[in-house]
Chain A
Amino acid sequence: MIPLRGAAAIAGVGESPFATVPGKTAMQFAAEAAGAALEDANLTFDAIDGLVTAYSVGEPFRFFATVLAEYLGLQPRWLSQVNVGGSVGNLLVEHAAMAVATGMADTVLCVWADNRRSAIGGTRTISTVADLAAHPDYELPFGPMVPSLYALAANRYSTQYGDASGGLADVAVTMRDYAVRHPKAHKRTPITRDDVLSSPMVSTPLHALDCCLISDYGAAAIVTSAERARDLVGGAPLILGVGEGTTHEFISQAPSLTQTGAQRAGEAAYRMAGLGPGDIDLAYLYDCFTITVLLLLEDLGFCGRGEAPAFVASGALAASGELPTNTHGGLLSYSNGGFLHVVEAVRQLRGDGGDRQVPDAETALVHLQGGVLSTHATLILGVDR
């Protein structure tokens, strides 16, 4: 068996500009992000011998990875496409790390780009994403919005543990507080708990401000061996632990609405890294909806069952709190694109967080999920000692 802990590192990260530009393709966003990540790693495209990517809702090439390799002028010796929804950001890093650790590739470009906002736009995006997130025969005929699918979990959570509306709103406010301080964030107007609760109701109990952005984005990372990363750049964070947990695809088949596969994914990642929740300095939790953050805090062991609303209300996720979370503003206020959680985690661990820099951050846990609380992946990064 080849141990994965500490074998690979993230040597560079990059993102594309996020302005919605009609006609700009996912391929173009991917190229921009890849170029930025390579520059960050002091590399050029000819150094890349492995490529792993995801999918694009706006530009749905079925064989997206192969098309992307062709578009970028790459002929990789290792090529992969991961297609499991929003958890894919961590899975790109996980798969790249496995390729590097086994010698299948030396320097892997991980990239995820989508032009869903400008390609599909507005209300049609809502229907298109509903097509993906709800079962076409056994769920869609009953008219759920995508937020409705998550709202079911929020409703069940509130029934079990008490009204969580305040906790949900506090998550949105915390994300916005971070985004206010990030020059590239989409939403930079401060909001209050009342603003969230009085924003239009979408599907009870989720309001508009409980729901993430629909964006165009491109984000990329360069994964290589720990040794090579040390030669290329200073301070490339190591990949210390990875773990997965998948329980269902469609919410009506979920074994539970309040406990998710994140628990199993987190346990596996903690075990590989030799760390526990108390060792984590920074958290990057998939905030497609505010309820997801509450569930992930509990499933990943950062607080007890039913305690997430109080944990968030205490300020624990804020910059001055015990667990700064989504320091860029997340999917709720920075941009859609879960891979950006990975990008921000790397920046913080390298000390490149600018005005948002959290002092003495040495470990970061990124947890991304896909489907509707369906598929989960945890990634633990740490400063290279």
Chain B
Amino acid sequence: MSEFLPHETVESQPFWEACRQERLLLQRCDRCGRFQYYPRALCVHCAGVDLTYEQVSGRATVHAFSVVHRAPHPRFADRVPYVVALVTLDEGPQMMTNITGAPIDEIHVGQTVRVTFERVDDDVTLPMFTPEGAG
């Protein structure tokens, strides 16, 4: 069974290292200029193989969310209820994340959110998102 924690690969290491430094870096294709997530060995848009990590704004919009009432793993047991969401970064790609730092009943689709980082342990820092103006 998974520990519900990410594992780094050669191609994703810069992303996760940046998270540990509380920076959000995404791959950008040298050929077509589009951002992508998650990290891959090729550009998912144009199949180009030259990709450069670039820091993004950290700003996004809530695309959809769900309030989780049962933890799928003990790691989440004392957080219930918590919000799982898909957010669309201003730069285009979509990410799954948790919305934190605001009352659950204030969260809505279309809301502007900003990245914030949560340290889980020495190896893992996760990108979360908080409503703009909250907290």
Contacts and interface: CB of A to CB of B under 8 A. Distances in A.
Contact of B64 (A131, A139, A159, A202): A159
Contact of A252 (B66, B75, B96): B96
A210 to B, nearest CB: 12
A146 B67 CA distance: 13
Contacts of B63: 156, 257
Contact of A136 (B2, B68, B94): B2
Nearest to B69: A201
B69 A139 contact: no
Interface stretch (A80-88, A147-155, A311-319, A341-349): A147-155
B72 interface: yes
A145 to B, nearest CB: 5
B122 to A, nearest CB: 15
Contact of A142 (B2, B7, B70, B126): B126
Given A142-B126, A155-B65, A136 B6 contact: yes
A32 B83 CA distance: 43
B100 to A, nearest CB: 10
Interface residues of A, number: 37
Given A135-B38, A136-B6, A252-B94, A143 B66 contact: no
A44 interface: no
Contacts of A251: 86, 96
B98 interface: yes
Interface string A114-149: 000000000010111011000111111111111010
B82 interface: yes
B71 interface: yes
Contacts of B98: 142-143
State the majority secondary structure of interface residues on A.
Answer: helix
A203 B1 contact: no
Contacts of A130: 2, 72-73
B1 A141 contact: no
Interface string A272-283: 000000000000
A120 to B, nearest CB: 10
Nearest to B110: A159
A202 B68 CA distance: 6
A171 B89 CA distance: 34
Nearest to B120: A141
A257 B63 CA distance: 9
B69 A131 contact: no
B46 interface: no
Contact of A203 (B2, B37, B69): B69
Contacts of A257: 63-64, 86
B38 to A, nearest CB: 5
Contact of B5 (A131, A141, A144, A252): A141
A202 B75 CA distance: 17
Contacts of A145: 68, 70, 72
Contacts of B109: 155-156, 159
21 contacts: A130-B73, A131-B1, A131-B2, A137-B7, A138-B6, A141-B124, A142-B84, A143-B4, A143-B71, A143-B72, A143-B79, A148-B84, A152-B84, A155-B64, A155-B65, A155-B66, A156-B64, A159-B109, A203-B69, A204-B69, A257-B64
Given A145-B72, A156-B64, 6 more contacts: A138-B96, A140-B5, A141-B5, A143-B73, A151-B66, A152-B86
- Report, nearest first, the 4 A-B pairs whose CB atoms are least far apart: A151-B66, A137-B6, A252-B96, A156-B64
